């Protein structure tokens, strides 16, 4: 097979549909798929869950298959409707109102989904936090968002700060506990007492629903603010790109603490009313093959880092499993290596479809559609209704085959509407009518986009965005560390790993024990995925005369590359 171009196959729509759509497409027409196109009043929780529970044909359809090593359960659409109603009533009882921020800090479980939709039904804004976060990461996010309620588990409670959170009124505990303070709410007890009937708070399309914190190259993580209007594009892409049909069994591997885990782990599949597999527990290639096999998964949305692990686990491994149900595979979060696509064709007998988007974009923008040819190594082409290009630093478009900043014409439905409490940061994303992504890429003559790297210092490790500033800040809290500079170092399996350069305070000697202690300090204070895998002690950290850490220079040293312009380097 010509690996440069992998031919298309049929999806929900054929190639001609897409060609027509790309020429004359209006997002307004997409709205006709929703009941609210008549009333104007919406709630994404209604469209994802209750709509299917209202329909006698889908009321008792399995919406959720939950499988974790110690727990297997299912929920129908009707059950999810009732449980989320109950949780909305619990929130109402404790005074939560439209626009309040309610955060979730817990592992994936059926309770997570009931709580998530309960929050949306009352018109509040949900803030899911990655379960691996440690105290500092949790504090930063709860402080910035001024969350009034947190839903967590007794196991994770020790990582929830007990001070500096004046806005946090209540903590809902999911799981056995004996907390007596009236600050705590027992999930089980309250749910049993709550009615399963609830009048949904109807909101405007532009009302908030979700805050996802994400890292940039400077400062603390930023709250990316999304509104109910996202549903239009989430529905469209679930149809066109995930290619979901009524009887699909769908599995998205992402945690709802990250945007893929909400946009396509929750909204996309359930807007389309399919059965959604949620897997808890840790990752091994074997357990993932089992999940695909045992649940007869038909559509699978995952990430290059997982696929690369499966590749290294051996080509013969897939033969041990019955994967005959699987018909469509997609990837997001990092560059999808052509070798992985080749592996997919051989081992799974399927194409792997790369998709590109960001927390800020809310939904997929550049994709490989089922009925279009794939060019391995390319992220694909913009979806209908989206215009993408490559711009220079001034926001001027540049011709094909030249590298520049990947940019999107503003106005797609799922675009973030704000950075929480930070209007100037929000403004900084836009130049000349374009949303400028910070990814470098080029576009070929046929309109396929090719990812090249990040233009800033943001690190992408196993598909998770890590801001160097956050890690540096934590490192220098350790008494031994004077200064720190953090970079992403290329790694065949993880994409990048985090490498930290540090200088030591007087009185401290470099030793393997000390370095391990510092590593653990970040791991237990911030989060496991942000802990540097490599630590190197230096005599000095290169900085500009204005005191900015020159991470670029650290990176060039690390990779043995030319150091470029160092005229701003401090003496
Ligand atoms: C990177 C995840 C290459 C990119 C949905 C982007 C990708 C950042 C791809 C966003 C892809 C995402 N190929 N790189 N297909 N998809 N990225 O906010 O650098 O966690 O800017 O959103 O991941 O990461 P985020």
ipTM above 0.95, yes or no: yes
Backbone angles phi, psi at 156, to 5 degrees: -90, -10
Q: Which residues are bridge partners to 127 per DSSP?
A: 103
Report the 10 Å Cβ neighbour count for 562: 5
Task: State the distance from the centre of ligand 1 to the C-alpha of 495, rounded, in angstroms.
Answer: 12
Predicted local distance difference test score (pLDDT) of residue 1: 43
Tens digit of pLDDT for each residue in 538-551? Answer: 999 998 777 788 89
Longest CA–CA separation in the chain, Å: 74
Distance CA 151, CA 157 (A): 10
Predicted local distance difference test score (pLDDT) of residue 291: 96
- Count CA atoms closer than 13 A to 524's CA, side-chain side: 8
Say if residues 407 and 386 touch (Cβ distance below 8 Å): no
Question: Greater confidence, 208 or 314?
Answer: 208
Instruction: List, chain by chain if needed, residues with CB within 6 Å of any ligand 1 atom.
Output: 214, 258-260, 332-335, 354-359, 379, 437, 439, 451, 454, 460, 465
pLDDT tops 60 at residue 254? yes
Task: State the distance from the centre of ligand 1 to the C-alpha of 333, rounded, in angstroms.
Answer: 4
Distance CA 503, CA 510 (A): 10
Task: State the distance from the centre of ligand 1 to the C-alpha of 225, rounded, in angstroms.
Answer: 18
For all residues of the chain together, what is the average pLDDT?
A: 93
Distance CA 127, CA 105 (A): 9
Distance CA 546, CA 328 (A): 51
Q: What is the mean pLDDT of residues 236-262?
A: 96
Task: State the distance from the centre of ligand 1 to the C-alpha of 155, rounded, in angstroms.
Answer: 31
- Count CA atoms closer than 13 A to 141's CA, side-chain side: 31
Predicted local distance difference test score (pLDDT) of residue 140: 94
Distances (CA, A) of 258 to 51, 62, 332, 384, 464: 26, 24, 12, 25, 8
pLDDT tops 70 at residue 45? yes
DSSP H/E element including 239? helix 231-240
Question: Greater confidence, 377 or 40?
Answer: 377
pLDDT tops 80 at residue 15? no
Q: Among 356, 408, 461, 463, name the best residue to mutate to test ligand 1's pocket (greatest count of ligand atoms within 8 A of Cβ).
A: 356
- Residues of the chain with pLDDT > 70, as a percent, come to 98
pLDDT tops 90 at residue 137? yes
**352-356 and 328-332 as β-strands: parallel, antiparallel, unpaired?**
parallel
Report the 10 Å Cβ neighbour count for 238: 27
Task: State the distance from the centre of ligand 1 to the C-alpha of 419, rounded, in angstroms.
Answer: 18
User: Strands of 101-105's sheet, edge to edge?
Assistant: 184-186, 170-173, 149-152, 101-105, 125-129, 208-214, 222-227, 418-419
Predicted local distance difference test score (pLDDT) of residue 543: 84
Q: Is 151 helix (H, G, I), strand (E, B) or coil?
A: strand
**464-466 and 299-302 as β-strands: parallel, antiparallel, unpaired?**
unpaired
- Count CA atoms closer than 13 A to 148's CA, side-chain side: 13
**Token output for 444:** 């070929």
DSSP H/E element including 20? helix 15-23
**Token output for 6:** 């992998």
Tens digit of pLDDT for each residue in 447-506? Answer: 999 999 989 889 999 888 998 988 998 998 999 999 999 999 999 889 999 999 999 999
Q: Is 62 helix (H, G, I), strand (E, B) or coil?
A: strand
Q: What is the mean pLDDT of residues 287-313?
A: 94
Beta-strand ranges (E) seen in 69-200 are 71-76, 101-105, 125-129, 149-152, 170-173, 184-186
Kindly compute the dihedral angle of the four CA atoms of residues 513, 552, 420, 388, in this order, to the nearest 10 degrees: -130
Q: What is the mean pLDDT of residues 156-174?
A: 96
Q: Is 236 helix (H, G, I), strand (E, B) or coil?
A: helix
Identity of the highest mean pLDDT range in 211-220, 235-244, 466-475, 561-570: 235-244
DSSP secondary structure code for residue 548 in this structure:
-
Predicted local distance difference test score (pLDDT) of residue 526: 92
pLDDT tops 80 at residue 290? yes
227-236, 433-442, 469-478: which range is least confident on average?
Answer: 469-478
Contacts of 346 (CB under 8 A, 6+ apart): 315
pLDDT tops 90 at residue 533? yes
Task: State the distance from the centre of ligand 1 to the C-alpha of 454, rounded, in angstroms.
Answer: 9
Q: Among 210, 253, 358, name the best residue to mutate to test ligand 1's pocket (greatest count of ligand atoms within 8 A of Cβ).
A: 358
Q: Is 300 helix (H, G, I), strand (E, B) or coil?
A: strand
Distance CA 64, CA 139 (A): 31
Centroid of chain to Cα 53: 27
Predicted local distance difference test score (pLDDT) of residue 8: 82
Report the 10 Å Cβ neighbour count for 195: 11
pLDDT band at 3 (very low <50, low <70, confident <90, very high): low
Report the 10 Å Cβ neighbour count for 52: 23
Q: What is the mean pLDDT of residues 283-299?
A: 94
Atom of ligand 1 nearest to the CA of 464: 20
Q: Whose CA is nearest to atom 5 of ligand 1?
A: 358
Q: What is the mean pLDDT of residues 359-384?
A: 96
Task: State the distance from the centre of ligand 1 to the C-alpha of 503, rounded, in angstroms.
Answer: 32
Phi-psi region of 7 (alpha: psi -120 to 50; beta: other; left: phi over 0): beta
pLDDT band at 571 (very low <50, low <70, confident <90, very high): low
Tens digit of pLDDT for each residue in 408-420? Answer: 999 999 999 999 9
Say if residues 120 and 148 touch (Cβ distance below 8 Å): no
């Amino acid at each position: 097979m010509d690996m440069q171009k992998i031919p298309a196959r049929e999806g929900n729509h054929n190639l001609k549909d897409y060609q027509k759509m790309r020429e004359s497409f209006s997002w307004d027409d997409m709205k006709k798929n929703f009941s609210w196109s008549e009333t104007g009043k919406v709630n994404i929780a209604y469209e994802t869950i209750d709509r299917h529970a209202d329909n006698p044909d889908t009321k008792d359809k399995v919406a959720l298959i939950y499988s974790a090593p110690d727990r297997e359960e299912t929920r129908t659409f009707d059950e999810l409707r009732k449980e989320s109603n109950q949780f909305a009533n619990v929130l109402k009882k404790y005074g939560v109102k439209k626009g309040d921020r309610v955060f979730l800090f817990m592992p994936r479980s059926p309770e997570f989904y009931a709580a998530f939709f309960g929050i949306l039904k009352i018109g509040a804004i949900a803030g899911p936090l990655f379960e691996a976060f440690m105290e500092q990461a949790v504090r930063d996010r709860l402080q910035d968002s001024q969350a009034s309620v947190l839903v967590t588990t007794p196991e994770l409670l020790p990582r929830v700060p007990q001070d500096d959170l004046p806005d946090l009124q209540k903590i809902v505990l999911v799981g056995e506990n004996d907390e007596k303070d009236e600050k705590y709410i027992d999930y089980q007890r309250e749910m049993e007492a709550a009615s399963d009937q609830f009048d949904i708070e109807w909101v405007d399309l532009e009302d908030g629903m979700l805050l996802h914190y994400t890292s940039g190259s400077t400062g603390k993580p930023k709250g990316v603010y999304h509104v109910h209007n996202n549903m239009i594009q989430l529905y469209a892409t679930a149809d066109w790109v995930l290619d979901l049909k009524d009887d699909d069994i769908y599995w998205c591997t992402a945690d709802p603490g990250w945007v893929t885990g909400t946009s396509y782990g929750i909204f996309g599949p359930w807007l389309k009313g399919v059965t959604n597999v949620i897997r808890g527990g840790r990752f091994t290639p074997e357990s993932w093959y089992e999940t695909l096999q045992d649940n007869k998964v038909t559509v699978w949305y995952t990430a290059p880092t997982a696929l690369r692990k499966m590749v290294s686990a051996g080509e013969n491994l897939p033969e041990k499993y019955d994967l005959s149900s699987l018909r469509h595979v997609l990837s997001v979060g990092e560059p999808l290596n052509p070798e992985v696509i080749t592996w997919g064709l051989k081992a799974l007998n399927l194409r792997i479809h790369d998709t590109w988007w960001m927390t800020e974009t809310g939904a997929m923008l550049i994709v490989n559609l089922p009925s279009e040819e794939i060019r391995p190594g390319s992220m694909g082409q913009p979806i209908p209704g989206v215009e993408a290009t490559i711009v220079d630093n001034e926001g001027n478009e540049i011709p094909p085959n030249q590298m520049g900043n990947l940019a999107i014409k503003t106005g797609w439905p799922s675009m973030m509407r704000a950075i929480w409490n930070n209007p100037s940061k929000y403004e900084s994303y836009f130049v000349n009518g374009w949303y400028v992504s910070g990814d470098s890429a080029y576009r070929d003559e046929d309109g396929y986009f090719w990812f090249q790297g990040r233009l800033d210092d943001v690190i992408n490790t196993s598909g998770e965005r890590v801001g160097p500033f956050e890690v540096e800040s934590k490192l220098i809290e350790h008494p031994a560390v004077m200064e720190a500079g953090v970079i992403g170092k290329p790694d065949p399996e993880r994409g990048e790993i985090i490498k930290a350069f540090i200088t030591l305070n007087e009185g401290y000697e470099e030793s393997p024990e000390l370095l391990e202690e510092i590593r653990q300090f970040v791991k237990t204070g911030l989060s496991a995925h942000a802990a540097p895998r490599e630590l190197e002690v230096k005599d000095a950290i290169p900085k500009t005369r204005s005191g900015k850490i020159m991470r670029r220079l650290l990176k060039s040293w690390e990779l043995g590359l030319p150091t470029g312009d160092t005229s701003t380097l401090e003496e």
